[in-house]
A and B are shown apart, each in its own frame.
Chain A
């Protein structure tokens, strides 16, 4: 989607390694989110951020770290990757409030071997 980009699109990493997934949005949306999508589980919220320097845990935060030093960037770090973290990761952003939907990035397919 124009305006929100994720990188890399594909990543293969080894168990135990640290890996960072990047997310950048150009709209200055207040809210940003990280979801993972797995067969049988749909999309599950990992972390979200209401503004720069404000982050909060979602449904499945264990093993992940986020930061948001600038409004436009919201990187997700897997501190020590495990095979159970093999998934497709989506970043999303939103203006906020109850009247707006989310805009999603194209996703990062992460494989942990």
Chain B
């Protein structure tokens, strides 16, 4: 079973709009990470938020973490066609150095 579940599974927006996707996880974490995967490619690390952090920014990305609800969200502001990809959350468990991935959100940004 997967540690993380993402919502929605797919998202279609117009260029310039914001995209928000959510992730839930089940057990205690050290950190939560977000990755992007373009079609046919490997995953690229976007941002990491530690369990003692509530919000983090990186360029047009904003990540929030609510450990009481075991959930995180990724916001992409002012989306571009190049943001079209699948986005995955991954939880780094409190025990061991392993990441457990969610099922991903497919984002389509229409020009």
Interface, chain A (partner B; CB < 8 A): 1, 31, 33, 35, 40-45, 48, 50, 58-59, 90, 92, 94, 96-107
19 A-B contact pairs sorted by A residue (CB < 8 Å): A1-B42, A33-B98, A33-B99, A40-B103, A42-B101, A42-B102, A43-B43, A43-B88, A44-B101, A48-B97, A50-B97, A58-B98, A90-B42, A98-B31, A98-B92, A99-B48, A99-B50, A101-B35, A101-B48
Is the contact region of chain B dominated by helix, strand, or loop, or is it mixed?
Answer: strand
Interface, chain B (partner A; CB < 8 A): 2, 30-31, 33, 35, 41-45, 48, 50, 88, 90, 92, 97-104
Contact A96/B2 with A42-B88, A101-B33 known, Cβ cut-off 8 Å: no
Determine the chain B residues whose CB is within 8 A of the CB of A50 once the complex forms.
97
Inter-subunit contact B31/A99 (CB<8 Å): yes
Report the tally of A-B residue pairs with Cβ distances under 8 A.
63
Contact A104/B42 with A45-B100, A98-B30 known, Cβ cut-off 8 Å: yes
A102 vs chain B, min Cβ distance (A) = 6
Inter-subunit contact B97/A94 (CB<8 Å): yes
Contact A106/B41 with A43-B88, A100-B48 known, Cβ cut-off 8 Å: yes
Contact A42/B104 with A98-B92, A101-B33, A103-B45 known, Cβ cut-off 8 Å: yes
B3 vs chain A, min Cβ distance (A) = 10
B70 vs chain A, min Cβ distance (A) = 17
Inter-subunit contact A96/B41 (CB<8 Å): no
Q: How far is the CA of A90 from the CA of B44 in the complex (A)?
A: 12
Known: A101-B48, A102-B99. 10 other contacts (CB 8 A): A42-B103, A90-B43, A94-B97, A97-B97, A98-B31, A98-B50, A98-B97, A104-B43, A105-B42, A107-B41
Q: Residue of B at shortest CB range from A43?
A: B101
